[in-house]
Amino acid sequence: MTILTPTGGLQLRVAGVDTQDHPEVDLDATIESPVAMVGSTGATAAEPLLMATTDGTTAFYPACSSTRLETVAHRIDETGDITVEDPATVVDHDPTLPEMPHTGLNTLQDGTRRVLAGCGWRRPANVADYDAAGGFLDNIDSDTVFDAGENIHGRGWGDACHDTPLTETWIDAYDAEGEAAVVVNVHSNPGDSLLFSSTPFTVLDGAVSLAQTVDASEIVVFASVADESAVETARTAVERYPNKSSIAIDVVTGPAEYRAAEPTMALEAIEGNHRLEARLRPPGPESVGLYGRPTLIHTARTLAHLAVSLREDGTDSQPPTRVMTIQGDVTDQTIIEVPETATLEKACAAADTTDGVKAACVGGRFGGLAANLDVAVDPETLTDADLGTEGIVHILSEDRCVVEFVGERAQFAAEENCGRCVPCREGTTQLAELLRSLYDGTYRPEAIDELIRVMTTTSICEFGVNAGRPARTALNTFESEFEAHANGRCPTGSCLTAMEAK
């Protein structure tokens, strides 16, 4: 592998090409200029993305086919002219810039990249690249870390403590009896997976700083066994991570099941239990967690935000940002970072939709359905709007049937819950049945509302607490569609087969 030089001659970066998937892309073998295979930017539509840099100017060639990649790279290599093949944009920047310069390309939303700054610009587990970006955080003062935690909210349902400032939980773990542990939860959120695949040292810096602060002796990176890219990069990054003499860092995989991301089920998986069930709280894992030890469980997003904040001296002087994944009826899944003041509409504009936008399910698998996307992405506003804060927005195009969509989400919940508590186990099954009975002409909105209320208020973990949210929010916003189904009509026509079968 070639070395990226901060200044001087021509160098090429290729983002978003997995050389195992694309063995035909082997620029190193045929090009004289240095070529670096960097991680994904998160903007799949822009990849493969070829970037050609010389003396503080970079030309961007997004969405290259393998053939175009080869052609452009060879032409630039032969001519020394980075603009020779009509790039999408050319940007002048500081020649030593350790992160992607601002391109203005909408798909990258790169004006606000903080935690994603290194994604698609640096080689993922390359120590030299990370050193050039400021190097590893080392022995950050505990007070600085605790102070930083006051301004950071846990980012997703994979955080044992989310949507509230983190310091109090950290102090609880510090004060609890026993040697503490930190779990980095990379399971089930594309943003977490991207961070570990593209900029793993940033996440590890956050985890190590936190571990040092609460005197933890162990860090466990927990990922889905199906997430090969994140797992492989995590193992390499852990091997190369310095300054870890007193802290053991392991990478552990768990089953590729959605519920495994729930923090206490993640602990069960790490401990090797095959039957994953959520643990009763209190006590929370910050007091009694991994093997009974105080344990802090955070998503990669949360820890990356911590690392970036610490690099900025914990002052968090810039507006907070959110990593958002836009998926569903879009041409390509897109992961971007936006300021918390941005609206869902602005975030969704980074992805090309396939047939307009009728609604979006905001907040992951059990997010809330919204037709109005003029809503800021900060956690308070999303919560007030009964939307989720998981950082995943699933677009529903104009021809999507909302009733069918929430029925599928309810069925998923009925099949995937762990079965430990009655409100979720029985409630999700009953919810799926109530939604199915619409097709028989039975519409009982009060019964659906009451059932979801019980699930939300009495389930043991966030899975059951949120499982009814898609149906509840859809009932509020799209009631006429539910009534139409009960009257034998699907406004989009997509449920006709189900109705004809009756």
Could you write out the three-class secondary structure of 283-338?
A: CCCCCCCHHHCCEEEEEHHHHHHHHHHHHCCCCCCCCCEEEEEEEECECCCEEEEE
The smaller minimum CB distance to ligand SF4, of residues 157 and 439, is found at 157
Residues 6+ apart with CB under 8 A from 143: none
| Smallest gap from residue 482 Cβ to ligand SF4 (A) | 25
The first and second tokens of residue 289, run together, are 């967690």
The smaller minimum CB distance to ligand SF4, of residues 338 and 435, is found at 435
Residue, CB closest to ligand SF4? 464
| Smallest gap from residue 389 Cβ to ligand SF4 (A) | 18
The answer to whether the CB of 364 falls within 8 A of the CB of 388 is: yes
**Residue type present at position 499:** M
The smaller minimum CB distance to ligand SF4, of residues 181 and 260, is found at 260
| Smallest gap from residue 387 Cβ to ligand SF4 (A) | 20
The smaller minimum CB distance to ligand SF4, of residues 227 and 262, is found at 262
The smaller minimum CB distance to ligand SF4, of residues 117 and 421, is found at 421
Can you tell me the distance from the alpha carbon of 42 to that of 16, in angstroms, rounded to the nearest whole number?
A: 8
Which positions lie near ligand SF4, rule CB under 6 A?
259, 278, 417-421, 424-425, 459-461, 463-464
Helix (H) / strand (E) element for 469: namely helix 469-477
Cα–chain center distance at 18 = 19
The smaller minimum CB distance to ligand SF4, of residues 297 and 359, is found at 297
| Smallest gap from residue 231 Cβ to ligand SF4 (A) | 24
The smaller minimum CB distance to ligand SF4, of residues 319 and 419, is found at 419
Q: What is the dihedral of CA 197, 160, 452, 382, to 10 degrees?
A: -70
Distances (CA, A) of 178 to 186, 265, 268, 454: 25, 21, 19, 37
User: Taking Cα atoms as reference points, which of 477, 366, 488 lies closest to residue 427?
Assistant: 366
| Smallest gap from residue 260 Cβ to ligand SF4 (A) | 11
Within 10 A of 438 (CB to CB), how many other CB atoms are there? 25
Residues 6+ apart with CB under 8 A from 79: none
